Chains A and B, each alone.
Chain A
């Protein structure tokens, strides 16, 4: 610093008489391998380093339109447990609407004492609550039922993200309007093109549901429901209705298209399960994972994510031999209810073939199942709620691939 200042003043004093080449030589005398130019100026809103350009969401190729489709969070490139807002996975059913918050309203009506309509300013008058929760699409892993398909953990597990949500407790709002006796379900409806809507048990709404206006400290991103969305901790992503504009309290479910034609789980016998809301405990190794290449033998920490829609993760185990031997992984703080939990496991790669797996236990004692166990009860056509143990094969040349083991 002192050196640099001296150089600058010398350079300024001599500037008028020194040629550019001599100036450069003067800089070289200040030491090699150091910056010789100013960095970028201040910027009003920061963005990732240009060297991180490959860390992006990737869209599915399965849908015939981009306007009812989804894209995946690059879990393999992320650290800790919080998903950056620009990488939070997307799922929408009619494009991302552009909504002026000054025009936005939330209507609460139906079986309530006093129907009310709220502006964004109104909602910010309630005491804010903040909580860290994952959101996972119940279709996460839908390509993996019958054969390993996604090449990377982004494609097998990336309909999963986690953020700190800030907003109003739904219970505060519903108590404020007064819920009538006989109320049991609440219809939540968005202000997007298809007015996407789902029925939610009143019990869940009064338990831990949040009407969120902020995500990781800033206003929601448009793709995440700006200016208002529902957060139902641990429930399937689709129910966390984005662009929320209406809550209608009723006595029965409304049987919307998204909870009948979609988001129902078809079993092998032709029966289908409706209202399977909770995302059961699940874990996955993100480092190393599908599509990566391990270059060197020896020390290489395994790391991944575990989560449960029923509460906190209690334990994660890792196997490097396809599930024969399991050892406890270390859980990193914070270990929060219905939030992503990071686990790490020290490993030395011997250069031999390995099959890496993780399995988690949640606070209810539930153990993440194998795919075979799931398929035995649900068949391979239930689309939703695949929470099976994931296997990554490490070949002797270090190539990591998605396998069913």
Chain B
């Protein structure tokens, strides 16, 4: 039934091309996005680094930005709240009360760039430049002892940062594991 409609639409498109709006789909529903529509929304960054924009930022710049834009919620040194702790917790994952932070838990440094850019500052997301996001990423990695204080993050350096807990994730779902 659905297929018949599709075929009919396609036939009609072949016979009377001018009568149909320009649509990229087989059914004729929907429009072709403009290049700007795609670039505006295509902000995701993969673990491989695909999607990382041009630009760069250093730890020192990140420190200033962090104090101004992040510390009120995440604490002066990335701990102490009131919101999520971002720093510390190394070695705590097997403890009675694990402390999961960017440093102790996150498997990919690229995710940090992606998340800050899409979601932070929490109450005014989307207000940082790419350079600022790189700088904040560098600073949070530095606070967690993952990069040096001279580190500069960009599309080349960030994907090569190895997160300490990277190897402790398993991607296969072994459930049902009980009973």
| Chain B binds chain A | yes
Which residues from chain A sit less than 8 Å from chain B, CB to CB? 64-65, 67-68, 93-94, 105, 107-109, 114-118, 122-123, 125-127, 172, 175-178, 187, 189, 193-197, 245-246, 248, 250, 252-257, 260-261, 264, 266, 268-278, 280, 366-367, 369-370, 373-374, 376-378, 381, 385
Chain A residues with CB below 8 A from B47, complex form: 252-255
Question: Of A109, A266, A273, which is within 8 A of B38 by CB?
Answer: A109
Query: Does the CB pair B179–A367 fall under 8 Å?
Result: yes
Chain A residues with CB below 8 A from B77, complex form: none
Tell me whether B129 is interfacial, beta carbon within 8 Å. Answer: no
Binds A, one of B64-72, B100-108, B137-145: B100-108
Query: Does the CB pair A194–B125 fall under 8 Å?
Result: yes
Which residues from chain B sit less than 8 Å from chain A, CB to CB? 1-2, 5, 23-27, 29-33, 37-38, 41-48, 81-83, 93-94, 97-98, 100, 102, 105-108, 110-111, 114-115, 118-119, 122-123, 125, 168-179
Counting chain B CB atoms within 10 Å of each CB, the highest count among A254, A256, A270, A277 belongs to A254
> Which residue from chain A places its CB closest to the CB of B174 in the assembled complex?
A273
Query: Does the CB pair B125–A261 fall under 8 Å?
Result: no
Chain B residues with CB below 8 A from A93, complex form: 119
Q: Least Cβ distance of A175 to chain B in Å?
A: 7
Q: Report Cα–Cα, A370/B178, bound state, in Å.
A: 9
Query: Does the CB pair A257–B111 fall under 8 Å?
Result: yes
Q: Report Cα–Cα, A401/B177, bound state, in Å.
A: 29
Query: Does the CB pair A176–B25 fall under 8 Å?
Result: yes
Q: Least Cβ distance of A390 to chain B in Å?
A: 15
Q: Least Cβ distance of B72 to chain A in Å?
A: 12
Query: Does the CB pair A369–B179 fall under 8 Å?
Result: yes
With A246-B41, A255-B108, A369-B178 given, is the CB distance from A270 to B114 under 8 Å? no
What DSSP secondary structure best describes chain B's contact surface? loop
With A109-B38, A116-B33, A367-B179 given, is the CB distance from A194 to B24 under 8 Å? no
> Which residue from chain B places its CB closest to the CB of A275 in the assembled complex?
B171
* Number of cross-chain contacts by CB at 8 Å: 172
Query: Does the CB pair B108–A381 fall under 8 Å?
Result: no
Question: Of A245, A255, A272, which is within 8 A of B110 by CB?
Answer: A255
Chain B residues with CB below 8 A from A105, complex form: 37
Beyond the given A65-B83, A94-B122, A189-B44, could you list 12 further A-B residue pairs with CB under 8 A, ordered by the A residue number? Answer: A64-B83, A109-B38, A109-B42, A117-B33, A194-B125, A261-B102, A264-B169, A268-B94, A271-B169, A272-B105, A273-B173, A274-B107
Q: 7 closest A-B pairs (Cβ-Cβ)? A: A194-B119, A114-B24, A116-B30, A257-B115, A117-B33, A373-B178, A270-B93
Query: Does the CB pair B106–A252 fall under 8 Å?
Result: no
Q: Report Cα–Cα, A187/B26, bound state, in Å.
A: 22
Chain B residues with CB below 8 A from A369, complex form: 178-179
Question: Of B26, B106, B168, B174, which is within 8 A of A176 by CB?
Answer: B26
Query: Does the CB pair B169–A194 fall under 8 Å?
Result: no
Counting chain A CB atoms within 10 Å of each CB, the highest count among B48, B118, B168 belongs to B118
Q: Report Cα–Cα, A378/B176, bound state, in Å.
A: 12
With A256-B111, A257-B111 given, is the CB distance from A274 to B177 under 8 Å? no
- 5 inter-chain pairs at a CB distance below 8 angstroms, sorted by A residue, are A126-B27, A176-B26, A193-B119, A266-B100, A269-B94
Q: Report Cα–Cα, A258/B110, bound state, in Å.
A: 13
Q: Least Cβ distance of A401 to chain B in Å?
A: 25
Query: Does the CB pair B32–A255 fall under 8 Å?
Result: no
Chain B residues with CB below 8 A from A373, complex form: 178-179
Q: Report Cα–Cα, A150/B144, bound state, in Å.
A: 35
Q: Least Cβ distance of B64 to chain A in Å?
A: 24
Query: Does the CB pair B168–A114 fall under 8 Å?
Result: no
Query: Does the CB pair A252–B30 fall under 8 Å?
Result: no
Chain B residues with CB below 8 A from A276, complex form: 173, 175
Q: Least Cβ distance of B140 to chain A in Å?
A: 12
